[in-house]
Amino acid sequence: MNNNTDYNYEINPQAIEKESFRQIRQLTKLDHLSLEQQQVVMRIVHSVGMPDVSEKVRFSAQACQRGLQAIAEQGTILCDVEMVKQGITKRMNQQKTLCLLNDPRVAPLAKELGETRTMAALQFWQSDLTNSIVLIGNAPTALFRLLEMIKQGAGKPALIIGMPVGFVGAAESKQALWDCHEQLGIECITLLGNQGGSAVTSASLNALLRCANGEIY
């Protein structure tokens, strides 16, 4: 604890994190989840400070297992926006990690097609999709486009973490992912409703990276 100022507060990072997750365990219902699923849910709750968000998290049957396998096999990580990419814990991430939103080919293609840049960027994911981990935390249009691409025969990621945020298409894109994942043969983690964003998306992957490194709360 810090007693050298007018405020009394914890300054030890390990103590802060340990206490945070102790409180999260008290405030959320986790007993029905696997160990890895619990870690993901707690990281999501930690990133937004809202325990009730845990009730909206959904896992496909083999989501965590396939994610951990992809991590072990050094699968590529594909991100829809730079904020998601930057949120991944650097000391644990040994994967090839790409965000092509600012690739010089993307803006002209988006203008030509009359669509969002996040949609157009997916055109350049094709060679890296198979057995990748896809993180979509900002753009519902990117998640819709990804599902369209997979339906049309594109390579299947090992895991899709789809948690775009917002009021136009966000809830619908995540519901579409959840509704069709079994039919398409893909594994996913999603957060239903309007909530989501870059922080919860990268936090979900960070939880799996920590599991792979034996950091369990």
Q: Which residues are catalytic?
A: 46
Distance CA 44, CA 53 (A): 8
User: For residue 129, which of 84, 106, 159, 151 has the smallest C-alpha distance?
Assistant: 159
Distance CA 113, CA 209 (A): 37
Contact (Cβ atoms closer than 8 angstroms) between residue 133 and residue 205: yes
Distance CA 137, CA 105 (A): 22
Measured from the Cβ of residue 38, the count of other Cβ atoms closer than 10 Å reads 23
User: For residue 75, which of 93, 60, 100 has the smallest C-alpha distance?
Assistant: 93
